[in-house]
Chains A and B, each alone.
Chain A
Amino acid sequence: DAGVIQSPRHEVTEMGQEVTLRCKPISGHNSLFWYRQTMMRGLELLIYFNNNVPIDDSGMPEDRFSAKMPNASFSTLKIQPSEPRDSAVYFCASSGQGQETQYFGPGTRLLVL
């Protein structure tokens, strides 16, 4: 199995630009999670979906952040406009029905200048 796939692996952009991060969960998994890792806050959950429906987005920092899951095999996390404080590593994870753990992708390292 290919595991969770994220793209791009690295993104460097300028403040004010739109950033779109992409995730393909493991085939057959019905839950998808977006996390952000920073030195200050560690690994924090931004939003998660069950069967393509957003369940909890309380971790989304502000309206500049949005996430979609148009189908079971694809999700996006968008930041518009981006700011330097958004610089972090963004992870996508997925889990299957009845599974007790989550499987993480390799992450996208975002740098906003």
Chain B
Amino acid sequence: DQQVKQNSPSLSVQEGRISILNCDYTNSMFDYFLWYKKYPAEGPTFLISISSIKDKNEDGRFTVFLNKSAKHLSLHIVPSQPGDSAVYFCAASLDNYGQNFVFGPGTRLSVLP
């Protein structure tokens, strides 16, 4: 059974609009969450993270929101740009020591010009 779920395999958004990618998890012990971005033929690259003691973390156009009671997090990209087109993976961990991440299946984001 998947502990980290991304129920939307794909998402299309118009350039300049907001992209919202969602992630749900089942293990209430998860304490640290990350988003990775992956371009074709490349490895995933770290995008943004959030600790369970926060409910929001912002970095430029990227904001991650965490709702612990709902076991749900989301990544907002505002404004979306064509270069944001990639597969986005949500990951969760029991700690923030950079180890033992559980990844979701990914959501493919297409930003249309």
Q: Which residues of A come within 8 Å of B, CB atoms?
A: 4, 31, 33, 35, 41-45, 48, 50, 55-56, 91, 93, 95-96, 98-107
A31 touches B103 (CB 8 A): no
Enumerate 21 A-B pairs (CB-CB under 8 Å) in ascending A order: A4-B43, A35-B103, A42-B103, A42-B105, A43-B89, A43-B105, A43-B106, A45-B100, A55-B99, A91-B44, A95-B99, A98-B98, A100-B98, A101-B34, A101-B98, A102-B98, A103-B46, A104-B45, A106-B41, A106-B42, A107-B42
> Quick one: given A42-B105, A103-B46, are A31 and B98 in contact (CB under 8 Å)?
yes
Q: Which residue of B lies closest to A39 (CB)?
A: B105
> Quick one: given A42-B104, A43-B106, A101-B34, are A31 and B46 in contact (CB under 8 Å)?
no
A38 to B46, CA, bound (A): 20
A104 touches B96 (CB 8 A): no
Q: Which residue of A lies closest to B89 (CB)?
A: A43
B49 at interface, CB cutoff 8 A? yes
Q: Ordered nearest first, which 10 A-B pairs have the shortest CB separation?
A: A104-B43, A42-B105, A95-B98, A43-B103, A101-B46, A99-B98, A100-B96, A104-B44, A106-B43, A105-B43
A31 touches B99 (CB 8 A): yes
